[in-house]
C-alpha cells in the first residue's frame, strides 16, 4: 500500500498509527460498555431477550480477547506519539520539553473533567506519566528496557506490599471497604450529575488510585508501555514497517507462542486473589510470594497479547484489500482524544442513574456490546466527515491551541 504516509495536517502522519489508535479505541469502548462504565446505580439482573443466548460468548470474548489488551495498545501509542513529537522538535532545533510539560498540564485538566463523567478515565494518569517521560527521554534504550522489565515483573507491587506489612494502613483499608455501598446509596437518593461528579472526584478517585497504584498496579503496566512506545519509536519501527514484512511475521509468531507458553505456566500456579478482593483492601499479610509471580506473568501475557494484536494489525494493513478496510479507522484515531472523551460522556449518560441508567442498566452483555459497536460506528462516521472540513478534532484543536497559547488553524482551506 502507498498509504503509509499522508500530509493532511501541517506535519506528515504515519497513518497506520492513526488506524491502530482507532482500532485500540474500538476495544476500549467495548471493554467499558461491558463494565457499564463502572456505574452500578442499578444493580438489576440482566433481562432475558433473544440475544441473551450469546451473553456467555460475548463475556468470554471480552474477558479473554479485549480486556486489558486494547487499552495497552492505546498506552503504547501514547508513548510512541511522545517520541514522535520530541523527535520532530529536536530535528528542528527546538527544545520541546517545557512545552510538553505544559501540554501534560492541559491533558490533566481534560482528564479531571472526564473523571467527572467516568471514574475510570485514564487521561489524568497519562498526563502524570507524560511528565515522567520527559525526564526519561534522554535515557539510553538499554536503561529504559531495564525499567520496563522491573515494572512488568511487579517490583512496585512488591515494594508496596512490603511497606504495607511494616506499616499497617487499617484506616485506608476501612475506607476502601466501605466506599462502595456509600457511593451507591448516595447516588440512588435523588441522583444528579453533580452528585455523581462529586462521588467520582472523591470516593471514585480514591478507588481509582488504589486500582492504578495499589496491589493491582495497573498504572505500572501503563508506564512500561509508554516507555516501550518511546523505545520502539527510536527504532523507527513504524517508519520502516513496510520494508520488513518477513520480520513482522516472525514477531507475530514469537509473540503468540510466548503468550501461549506463559498462559500455560499460569495455569499450573495458584490463582491470585480476585480483582475485587485486591481493590477492596486485601490484607497484605495474606499474600504469598506465588501471587506476585502469577500476577507478573499475567501482566506479561497481556502485554504479549497486545503486541501480537499490534503486529497482526500491521500485517493485515499491508494487504491491499484488507488494508483499505482497516484504513477506515484512521479518522477515528486522528480524533482519538475527542472520541475517547466522548465515549466517557456517552457512557455516563447511558448508565448513570441521573440519565438513562434505569433503561440500560439491565441490558445484558450482548446488548451493550452491540450498543458499543453502534456508538463506535456513529463516531467513526462523524470523524470521517469532520476531518473533511477541519484539520483536527475539536479537543485536539483545543489541546494544540492551549499548548502554544495561540489559536491554531482549524478549518481546511478549500
Of 61-75, 156-170, 314-328, 379-393, the poorest mean pLDDT is in 156-170
Structural domain contains residue 296: yes
Structural domain contains residue 171: yes
The C-alpha atoms of residue 301 and residue 114 are separated, in whole angstroms, by 30
Task: Map 19-81 to HEC letters.
Answer: HHHHHHHHHHHHHHHHCHHHCCCCCCCCCCCHHHHHHHHHHHHHHHHHCCHHHHHHHHHHHHH
Residue range 273-312, pLDDT digits in tens: 655 555 555 555 567 778 889 999 999 999 999 999 999 9
CA dihedral 185, 191, 194, 197 (to 10 degrees): 50
Structural domain contains residue 150: yes
Structural domain contains residue 409: no
Domain around 248 = 5-404
How many CB atoms are located within 10 Å of the residue 220 CB? 22
More confident residue, 337 or 246: 337
Cα within 13 Å of Cα(235), Cβ side: 12
Of 185-199, 359-373, 386-400, the poorest mean pLDDT is in 185-199
Structural domain contains residue 126: yes
Tell me the three cell numbers of residue 388: 473533511
More confident residue, 180 or 160: 160
User: Do 330 and 19 contact (CB within 8 A), yes or no?
Assistant: yes
Structural domain contains residue 143: yes
Among all chains, which residue has been given the C-alpha cell 482524544?
337
| pLDDT attached to residue 45 | 64
| pLDDT attached to residue 1 | 42
Residue range 329-355, pLDDT digits in tens: 999 999 999 999 999 999 999 999 999
Instruction: Name the pTM for this structure.
Output: 0.89
Structural domain contains residue 154: yes
Structural domain contains residue 30: yes
The C-alpha atoms of residue 200 and residue 205 are separated, in whole angstroms, by 6
Tally of domains in the chain: 1
Residue range 360-382, pLDDT digits in tens: 988 999 999 999 999 999 999 99
| pLDDT attached to residue 285 | 54
Amino acid at each position: 500500500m502507498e498509504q503509509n504516509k499522508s500530509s493532511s495536517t501541517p506535519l506528515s502522519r504515519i497513518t497506520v498509527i492513526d488506524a491502530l489508535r482507532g482500532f485500540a479505541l474500538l476495544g476500549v469502548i467495548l471493554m467499558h460498555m461491558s463494565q457499564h462504565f463502572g456505574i452500578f446505580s442499578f444493580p438489576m439482573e440482566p433481562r432475558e431477550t433473544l440475544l441473551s443466548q450469546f451473553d456467555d460468548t460475548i463475556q468470554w470474548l471480552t474477558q479473554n480477547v479485549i480486556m486489558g489488551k486494547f487499552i495497552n495498545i492505546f498506552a503504547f501509542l501514547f508513548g510512541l506519539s511522545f517520541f514522535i513529537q520530541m523527535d520532530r522538535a529536536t530535528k528542528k532545533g527546538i527544545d520541546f520539553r517545557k512545552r510538553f510539560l505544559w501540554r501534560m498540564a492541559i491533558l490533566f485538566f481534560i482528564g479531571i473533567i472526564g473523571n467527572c463523567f467516568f471514574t475510570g478515565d485514564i487521561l489524568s494518569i497519562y498526563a502524570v506519566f507524560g511528565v515522567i517521560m520527559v525526564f526519561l527521554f534522554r535515557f539510553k534504550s538499554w536503561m529504559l528496557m531495564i525499567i520496563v522489565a522491573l515494572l512488568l515483573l511487579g517490583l512496585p507491587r512488591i515494594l508496596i506490599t512490603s511497606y504495607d506489612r511494616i506499616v499497617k494502613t487499617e484506616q485506608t483499608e476501612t475506607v476502601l471497604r466501605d466506599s462502595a455501598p456509600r457511593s451507591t446509596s448516595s447516588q440512588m437518593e435523588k441522583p444528579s450529575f453533580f452528585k455523581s461528579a462529586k462521588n467520582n472526584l472523591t470516593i471514585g478517585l480514591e478507588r481509582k488510585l488504589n486500582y492504578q497504584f495499589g496491589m493491582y498496579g495497573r498504572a505500572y503496566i501503563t508506564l512500561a508501555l509508554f516507555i516501550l512506545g518511546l523505545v520502539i519509536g527510536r527504532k523507527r519501527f513504524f517508519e520502516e514497517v513496510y520494508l520488513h514484512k518477513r520480520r513482522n511475521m516472525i514477531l507475530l509468531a514469537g509473540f503468540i507462542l510466548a503468550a501461549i507458553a506463559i498462559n500455560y505456566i499460569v495455569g499450573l500456579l495458584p490463582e491470585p486473589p480476585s480483582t475485587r478482593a485486591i481493590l477492596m483492601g486485601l490484607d497484605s499479610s495474606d499474600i504469598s510470594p506465588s501471587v506476585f509471580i502469577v500476577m507478573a506473568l499475567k501482566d506479561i501475557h497481556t502485554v504479549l497479547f497486545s503486541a501480537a494484536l499490534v503486529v497482526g494489525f500491521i500485517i493485515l494493513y499491508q494487504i491491499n484489500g484488507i488494508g483499505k478496510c482497516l484504513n477506515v479507522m484512521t479518522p477515528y484515531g486522528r480524533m482519538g482524544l475527542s472520541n475517547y472523551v466522548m465515549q466517557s460522556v456517552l457512557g455516563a449518560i447511558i448508565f448513570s442513574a441521573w440519565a438513562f441508567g434505569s433503561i440500560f442498566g439491565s441490558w445484558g452483555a450482548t446488548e451493550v456490546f452491540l450498543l458499543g459497536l453502534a456508538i463506535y460506528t456513529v463516531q467513526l462516521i462523524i470523524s470521517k466527515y469532520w476531518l473533511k472540513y477541519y484539520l483536527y478534532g475539536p479537543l485536539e484543536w483545543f489541546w494544540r491551541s492551549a499548548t502554544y497559547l495561540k489559536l491554531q488553524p482549524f478549518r481546511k482551506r478549500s
